[in-house]
Homo-oligomer: A and B are copies of this chain.
Amino acid sequence: MKVEELQFEFNHLLPQQRQNKEKTHLGVAELSPSPVVCPDDDGDGGFETVIDGEDEDCFVQPMNFAMVDNGIFRSGFPQPANFSFLKSLGLRSIVYLCPEPYPEESLEFLKSSGIKLHQFGIDGRKEPFVSIPEDTVCEALRVVLDPKNHPVLIHCKRGKHRTGCVVGCFRKLQKWCLSSVFDEYIRFAAAKARISDLRFVESFDISSLSAHLPLSFTFSQRR
């Protein structure tokens, strides 16, 4: 079975299973998945509607969620269904990489959870229209590298391009070889991988940030 077929079956099956579970356990219409409006990833400033649900029995992770290192996480745009999971991470800060304003509901969640929002508005459009601003990525990385901000979640819209670039530059600071940095980028960006992002990461100069790298960050010195 090809992954396309698999994903079709998966996309087809899961929402129904989740809905059934909600009906069985909670039995109320107002708890069924509600649509959430979120900026889309085409970089054209458009929006899309995402259907998401919340389940008392399990945590719903934001798309493309993963642990980058101790106290550093990455993901796509968190939906209200993900708030209980984010709360469980004990986040102290969020590094948000898009220029669009944060949704009101999300701001309220951050406020009630004591999470500080650090916004770095990087345009999500592809080259040749837009290039990634190196100084903005540097500023975002300074927040990510400061343990006082941990646990921190880095996110953009889909957790692929802008997040992938910031994490890629972080890996260079950790002295990962480029092939492993790119392997990780491609794992998240998949069919949407952009060679312009890889070139950005490859040419990114870490020298101004090396002094900001806490000793505890390199694996060898952490233990």
> A: which residues have CB within 8 A of B?
1-3, 6-7, 9-10, 14, 17-18, 55, 57-61, 63-70, 85, 87-90, 151, 174-180, 182-184, 186-195, 198, 218-220, 222-223
Contacts and interface: CB of A to CB of B under 8 A. Distances in A.
A188 B187 contact: yes
Nearest to A60: B177
A175 B88 CA distance: 11
A58 B55 CA distance: 43
A176 B63 CA distance: 12
A92 to B, nearest CB: 9
Contacts of A189: 3
Contacts of A187: 64, 66, 187-188, 190
Contacts of A70: 70
